[in-house]
Amino acid sequence: MEMMNWLPEHSAALQDLRARGLSYSEIADTINATFNTAYTRNAALSRAQRMGLAGLDRPEPTLPGHLDPPKPSLPELRGWPCDRRAEPKLNLLRCPRIFTEMVEMPRLRCAAVAPRHLSLLDLQPGDCRYPYGGDAEDEAMTFCGHPRRPGSSYCAPHFHLSRDPDASVRPVLNDAWLQAIAAS
């Protein structure tokens, strides 16, 4: 990934275009055309976030020509069955669904091996590199350390643990895939 440094004039242009209500794609295109750069939409969005400009909601446009959407011009019909007002819908991204039912947790797979808990510096070239720990803050990460399986970074129990048991049953190259390759 190439690191791009934003010049102060590019940042000022981004701030101005964001205040005008342009999308980040439009902002990137405008800055690229003006300054002969190659910023992407994501680069503009990331820079705006670092500048404290980006939020989840889009600001109101201030440019002329950006009008409010037209309001429906149909007359209201009173007394009809369809006169009921629609219930406001919840925004599922902001209000996640709460589950109240019990969910059966899947059975976790584990290897039947007692790890030696070696540090990275203590590992030898033929030792298993299956990691243990490191999940919590300031928790040391250790490694299995048992002899590796040939052609793998893991010992035999950890090798089988890290593989999908159904994946070995499915063929990698099927007839449809081979026909598609032959057709091109």
Q: Per residue in 153-178, pLDDT tens?
A: 999 888 888 886 665 555 556 677 67
Residue 163 included in any domain: yes
3-state secondary structure of 133: strand
Instruction: Please compute the mean of the pLDDT values over residues 33-49 and round it to a whole number.
Output: 90
pTM of whole model > 0.85?
Answer: no
The verdict on 179 and 116 lying in the same domain is yes
pLDDT score of 152 more than 70: yes
Residue 178 included in any domain: yes
pLDDT score of 72 more than 60: no
Distance, in Å, from the CA atom of 102 to the CA atom of 97, rounded to the nearest integer, reads 14
Of residues 90 and 149, the one with the higher pLDDT is: 149
Least confident range from 14-23, 107-116, 131-140: namely 107-116
The verdict on 182 and 120 lying in the same domain is yes
Q: What share of the chain is helix, strand, coil (3-state, %, to 5)?
A: 30, 5, 65
pLDDT-derived band at 83, boundaries 50, 70, 90: very low
Residue 122 included in any domain: yes
Domain that holds residue 145: 112-184
User: How many DSSP H helices and E strands does the chain contain?
Assistant: 5, 2
Q: Which residues, in sequence order, are bridge partners of residue 147?
A: 127
Residue 106 included in any domain: no
pLDDT-derived band at 184, boundaries 50, 70, 90: low
Distance, in Å, from the CA atom of 123 to the CA atom of 150, rounded to the nearest integer, reads 16
Mean per-residue pLDDT over the chain, rounded: 75
H-helix segments, 117-168: 156-161
Residue 83 included in any domain: no
* Sequence-distant (≥ 6) Cβ neighbours of residue 41 within 8 angstroms: 23, 24, 25, 28
pLDDT score of 67 more than 70: no
Q: How many domains does the chain fold into?
A: 2
Residue with tokens 């994501």: 42
Residue 98 included in any domain: no
Residue 176 included in any domain: yes
Highest mean pLDDT among 47-56, 67-76, 98-107: 47-56
Residue 99 included in any domain: no
The verdict on 121 and 53 lying in the same domain is no
